[in-house]
A and B are shown apart, each in its own frame.
Chain A
Amino acid sequence: MGQITLQGVQKSFGPVHIIKGADLDIADGSFVVFVGPSGCGKTTLLRLIAGLEDVTGGAILIDGRNVVDVPPAKRGLSMVFQSYALYPHMSVRGNIAFGLKMAGIARDEINRKVEAAAATLNLTPYLDRKPRELSGGQRQRVAIGRAIVREPKAFLFDEPLSNLDAALRVQMRLEVTRLQKQLGTTAIYVTHDQVEAMTMADKIVVLNGGRIEQYGSPLELYEKPANLFVAGFIGSPKMNFVTGEIAKQQGAATIGVRPEHLKVERDGQGGWHGTVSVAEHLGSDTFLYVDAGPLGMLTARYVGELDLHPGDRVSLIPDPARIHRFDDSGKSIHA
């Protein structure tokens, strides 16, 4: 079991409030991603759950028990650090076995479990190597092995893939998701990369400036962002925002349209007019950056190849069903 609940969790370092009251319910077995810009408090929140930092206020419940005064070792969670944090003087076997050894488990059982974990992660040939003799991806696997072998209530990941190159990152992303589903263990995963968040999460927590902006499934966040921040943060390329007269006509202070919901027409009649300033042809997609005069720069995405070039006049027609409206304070207006 690994059900985690945060109730009004706060954290300050001296006079600085970093986490300004977080409420959250994480269901057993789910994969929850904390996402947000750098410095928004993701790591701090994760470390509070881990017990590596003490809360300034509020409660953290694991399976219904308040653990704010429980030391990290007794919370039954395991963590994968961004830096891997492997024990440099121990072999891969020693690294993975360490937690079990600390728990006083019999040697035979430790060996059995370590070998099982190593097999799952394709680490068997490397069991007797030291961390410095491994590649980045292998070290990452050892760190994950160390986490899974203890059969914790939940895994905590702090940007575990950010030190890997792009190709390996995509591969490990899949492996981590697959492993989590296979084990059925609750996972909390911190990243600043919204693509990682969208692809891996059952549910996403969007953090900004120490506050939870929204908590929901990837599609909920995409389709019904709670406010301007979430709307701008989730989705790539970013949502287009338009203010002024056009927004007012829709009864909003700001309206937002995602690039994929702008229909592009060469010199058409309706919609918003502009001039292509940059066109990116990826074959599968075409991204257009359009200078739309008083509306500012707009981004449009077309699936497939579109033969448009800088200087071409285009009109962009927003899909009326996909226009997001926001009030003065940035909150979404739902019809």
Chain B
Amino acid sequence: MARMVTTRRKVISTAAAWLVGFLIFFPILWMVLASFKTELEAFAIPPSFLFFHWTTENYATVQERSDYFHHALNSIIIAGGSTLIAMLIAIPAAWSMAFSPTKRTKDVLLWMLSTKMMPPVGVLVPIYLIYRTFGLLDTRSGLIFILCLGNLPIVIWMLFTYFKEIPKDILEAARMDGATIGRELIYVLTPMAVPGLASTLLLNLILAWNEAFWTLNLSTLEAAPLTVFIASYSSPEGLFWAKLSAASTLAIAPILVLGWFSQRQLVRGLTFGAVK
């Protein structure tokens, strides 16, 4: 009896998980489907699901009207650059806080997190004015800088929690085993920290890639990443569902692929290492 109940429960929970998964995935699926419809069909009520006239003309139009590769390159440079710089600053910061904390360490961490609670729009005007004065508007370096600052607290928090997980005993064991600081770093610390570093890197790459507030407000064309590219398809003359879908599909494709191949690291990253 007991076994039957557990199998039934397993079936139900599996079905529920699939249902939730499908609900979450559905908008993306719908967007991808819409990108292959004509504008008319994209609007049609009742909507057609799979049996419509498949076309790739939206992709052609989108590429013709705006330069996808230009924006994609900007996205790569901005997301990659800001993540890299944030990591370079955050690794030593999180390191020292995890391995030689002081009385104020917790306060500093909380203060850093508290900056994330401020709505960015609250400082938009001053930042905009500063950027204008220094000629940083619509530059990649300007966007790299602001995204890096924006993500830094999260990067430091994540790395801090990972480093904290590394037992001090193991480092001391390495020291007793005769490892110099350098070899301790190479042979013991880095291999143990790599999963944490990788998930932090990935998560922040994705956050920076998807960041839309600062990128939309501080760039127009030259430095504009894919977020601006998508936004340009919701114009005052009306929405072009099919083309907007095509643009969005193009914009999220790289990150979707990246996410797919790094699922495991990502889950670990998002749960701050609670799942192993």
Could you tell me which A residues sit within 8 Å of B by CB distance? 50, 52, 71-74, 77-79, 81-83, 85-89, 98-99, 102-103, 146, 150
Contacts and interface: CB of A to CB of B under 8 A. Distances in A.
A89 B192 contact: yes
A72 B177 CA distance: 9
Contacts of A50: 176
B205 to A, nearest CB: 24
A52 B175 contact: yes
B15 interface: no
Interface residues of B, number: 17
A153 to B, nearest CB: 12
Contacts of A78: 176-177
Nearest to B194: A89
A102 B169 contact: no
A77 B173 CA distance: 11
Interface of B: 167, 169-170, 172-180, 183, 187-188, 191-192
A335 B175 CA distance: 50
A73 B180 contact: yes
A315 B187 CA distance: 67
A223 B199 CA distance: 61
A146 B188 CA distance: 15
A88 B169 CA distance: 12
Contacts of A85: 167, 169-170, 172-173
Nearest to B195: A89
28 contacts: A50-B176, A52-B176, A73-B179, A73-B180, A74-B178, A79-B172, A79-B173, A79-B176, A81-B172, A81-B173, A83-B167, A83-B169, A85-B167, A85-B173, A86-B170, A86-B173, A87-B173, A87-B192, A88-B170, A88-B192, A89-B191, A89-B192, A98-B177, A98-B179, A98-B187, A99-B177, A99-B178, A102-B177
Nearest to A71: B175
Nearest to A82: B169
Contacts of A99: 176-178
A79 B178 CA distance: 11
Contacts of B188: 87
Given A87-B170, A102-B179, 18 more contacts: A52-B175, A71-B175, A72-B175, A73-B179, A78-B176, A79-B176, A85-B169, A85-B172, A86-B173, A87-B192, A89-B192, A98-B174, A99-B176, A99-B177, A99-B178, A102-B183, A150-B177, A150-B178
Contacts of B187: 98
Contacts of B179: 73, 98, 102
Contacts of A79: 172-173, 176
B146 to A, nearest CB: 37
Nearest to A132: B276
Top 3 A-B pairs ranked by shortest CB distance? A85-B169, A99-B177, A73-B178
Contacts of B192: 87-89
A152 B268 CA distance: 40
A86 B172 CA distance: 11
A57 to B, nearest CB: 23
A179 B138 CA distance: 71
B169 A81 contact: yes
A190 to B, nearest CB: 14
B8 to A, nearest CB: 33
Contacts of A87: 170, 173-174, 188, 192
Nearest to A77: B176
A81 B176 CA distance: 11
Contacts of A52: 172, 175-176
Given A87-B188, A88-B192, A89-B192, A73 B170 contact: no
A162 to B, nearest CB: 14
Contacts of A81: 169, 172-173
Contact of B176 (A73, A83, A88, A89): A73
Nearest to B190: A89
B173 A103 contact: no
B167 A146 contact: no
A102 B185 CA distance: 13
A125 B112 CA distance: 50
A208 to B, nearest CB: 26
A150 B176 CA distance: 11
B173 A73 contact: no
B177 A146 contact: yes
A183 to B, nearest CB: 18
B177 A73 contact: yes
A102 B178 contact: yes
Nearest to A50: B176
Contacts of B191: 89
Contacts of B170: 85-88
